[in-house]
A and B are shown apart, each in its own frame.
Chain A
Amino acid sequence: MALRDLVMGGSGCAVPGNDGSSSSNPLGGFADSILGSASKTQERLREMPGLTGSRQQNGPQFGPTGPLTSLPGSELDSGQGSQAQVPPEFLGRFQDGDAREFVDAWNQALDRQLPPPQLPGLPRHNEVALFREFESIYGQEPGTSNVPPVFDAPPQHVLSGFLRSFVDSSRTNAPFPAVRLPELGLSHADKSRIRDRSSIMGRHIFADRGDAFADSQVNALLQSLDIEGNLRTQGPLAGQLSEFEQLWKEGYAQSTPVQQRQIGHQPLVSLPDQWANDFQSQYGPQPAPSWVDEFHNQQDGDQWAQQFQQQQGQIAARARFSHGGMGNLNAMEPTHALVQTLSQNQDPKFQNSKFLQFVSKMSRGELIVDDNQVKPGAANQLSNSWADEFQQQHTALPETWAAEFTAGEHMHRGDTWAEDFGRTRHEAVSTSDDWVDEFSKLGVRDWADEFGDQVAKGAFGDESNSSWLESYDKFVEEQVKGEQRVPQSSRFVYQFADQNPYVGHPNPLKEGQDLFRRGLLSEAVLALEAEVLKNPDNSEGWRLLGITHAENDDDRQAIASMVKARDADPSNLEVLLALGVSHTNELEQQEALRYLRGWLQHHPKYGMLVPHDVVDRLNHAEVANLFNEAAQMAPEDGDVHTVLGVLYNLSRDYDKAIASFQTALQLKPRDYSLWNKLGATQANSARSADAIYAYQEALDLKPNYVRAWSNMGIGYANQGQYEESIRYYVRALAMNPKADNAWQYLRISLSCASRPDLLDACERRDLEALQKEYPL
Chain B
Amino acid sequence: MPMFKTAFNGYAVKFSPFLESRLAVATSQNFGIIGSGRQYVLDLTPNGFVPVCSFDTPDGLYDCTWSEENENILVSASGDGSVKLWDLAAPPMANPVSNRQEHSHEVASVDWNMVRKDSFLSSSWDDTIRLWTVDSPQSLRAFVEHSYCVYKAVWNPRHADIFASASGDCTVRIWDVRQPHSTYQIPGHEMEILSCDWNKYNEFMLVSGSVDKSIKLWDVRNPRQELTRLLGHTYAVRQVKFSPHQESLLMSCSYDMTVCLWDYRAPEDALLARLAHHTEFAVGIDMSTLVEGLLASTAWDETVFVWQQGMDPRAA
- The residues of A with any CB-CB pair to B shorter than 8 Å are 43, 46-52, 54-55, 57-60, 62, 66-69, 71, 73-76, 83-84, 87-88, 90-91, 94-96, 98-99, 102-103, 105-106, 109-110, 112-113, 116, 132, 143, 146-148, 150, 152-154, 157, 160-161, 164, 190, 193-194, 196-198, 200-201, 203-205, 207, 230, 349, 352-355, 358, 362, 367, 370-371, 373-376, 379-380, 383
B7 touches A380 (CB 8 A): yes
Residue ID in chain A nearest B132 by CB atoms = A109
Query: Dominant SS at the A interface?
Result: helix
B29 touches A380 (CB 8 A): yes
CA–CA, A132 to B55, complex, Å?
25
B58 touches A160 (CB 8 A): yes
Checking A60, A94, A196, A358 against B176 with a beta-carbon cut-off of 8 angstroms, the contacting residue is: A94
A152 touches B95 (CB 8 A): yes
CA–CA, A379 to B178, complex, Å?
45
A379 touches B280 (CB 8 A): no
B158 touches A50 (CB 8 A): no
Given contacts A47-B97, A49-B137, A370-B35, contact A60 B157 (CB under 8 A): no
Given contacts A116-B135, A380-B7, contact A102 B183 (CB under 8 A): no
The verdict on B179 contacting chain A, using a C-beta distance below 8 Å, is yes
The verdict on B116 contacting chain A, using a C-beta distance below 8 Å, is yes
CA–CA, A597 to B98, complex, Å?
61
A204 touches B236 (CB 8 A): yes
Query: Dominant SS at the B interface?
Result: loop
B72 touches A94 (CB 8 A): no
A354 / chain B contacts, CB cutoff of 8 Å: 280, 300-301
A147 / chain B contacts, CB cutoff of 8 Å: 99-101, 137
Checking A47, A84, A116, A201 against B98 with a beta-carbon cut-off of 8 angstroms, the contacting residue is: A47
A374 / chain B contacts, CB cutoff of 8 Å: 34-36, 58-59
- Give 7 closest A-B pairs by Cβ, nearest first: A49-B137, A58-B89, A49-B98, A103-B178, A67-B289, A204-B236, A59-B70
Q: State how many angstroms separate the Cβ of A19 from the closest Cβ of chain B.
A: 33
The verdict on B149 contacting chain A, using a C-beta distance below 8 Å, is yes
B79 touches A197 (CB 8 A): yes
B17 / chain A contacts, CB cutoff of 8 Å: 66-69
Given contacts A55-B72, A99-B178, 19 further A-B contacts (CB under 8 A): A49-B97, A55-B70, A59-B69, A59-B70, A59-B71, A59-B72, A62-B71, A67-B18, A67-B244, A69-B114, A74-B115, A84-B161, A87-B178, A90-B203, A106-B177, A146-B102, A349-B279, A376-B7, A379-B29
B56 touches A353 (CB 8 A): no
The verdict on B274 contacting chain A, using a C-beta distance below 8 Å, is no
A109 touches B136 (CB 8 A): yes
A102 touches B180 (CB 8 A): yes
Checking B58, B101, B160, B200 against A157 with a beta-carbon cut-off of 8 angstroms, the contacting residue is: B58
Q: State how many angstroms separate the Cβ of B304 from the closest Cβ of chain A.
A: 17
The verdict on B290 contacting chain A, using a C-beta distance below 8 Å, is yes
Residue ID in chain B nearest A375 by CB atoms = B36
Checking A49, A62, A90, A154 against B135 with a beta-carbon cut-off of 8 angstroms, the contacting residue is: A49
CA–CA, A475 to B271, complex, Å?
75
CA–CA, A206 to B112, complex, Å?
32
Checking B38, B68, B71, B158 against A75 with a beta-carbon cut-off of 8 angstroms, the contacting residue is: B158
CA–CA, A34 to B73, complex, Å?
32
A51 touches B97 (CB 8 A): yes
The verdict on B310 contacting chain A, using a C-beta distance below 8 Å, is no
B94 / chain A contacts, CB cutoff of 8 Å: 46-47, 51, 54
Checking B18, B73, B162 against A55 with a beta-carbon cut-off of 8 angstroms, the contacting residue is: B73
B118 touches A152 (CB 8 A): no
Residue ID in chain A nearest B290 by CB atoms = A67
Could you give, for residues 255-268 of chain B, a 1 whenever the CB lies within 8 Å of some chain A CB and a 0 otherwise?
10100000000000
28 pairs, A vs B, C-beta closer than 8 Å: A46-B93, A46-B97, A49-B100, A51-B97, A54-B97, A59-B71, A60-B70, A62-B18, A67-B17, A68-B289, A69-B68, A71-B157, A84-B160, A88-B162, A94-B176, A99-B178, A105-B141, A109-B140, A112-B133, A113-B135, A132-B137, A193-B34, A370-B30, A371-B34, A374-B34, A374-B35, A379-B34, A379-B35
The listed residue with most B CB atoms (<10 A of its CB), out of A57, A69, A99, is A69
The verdict on B33 contacting chain A, using a C-beta distance below 8 Å, is yes
B58 touches A150 (CB 8 A): yes
CA–CA, A65 to B304, complex, Å?
29
Q: State how many angstroms separate the Cβ of A568 from the closest Cβ of chain B.
A: 28
Residue ID in chain A nearest B137 by CB atoms = A49
B87 touches A95 (CB 8 A): no
Residue ID in chain A nearest B136 by CB atoms = A109
Checking B56, B106, B213 against A152 with a beta-carbon cut-off of 8 angstroms, the contacting residue is: B56
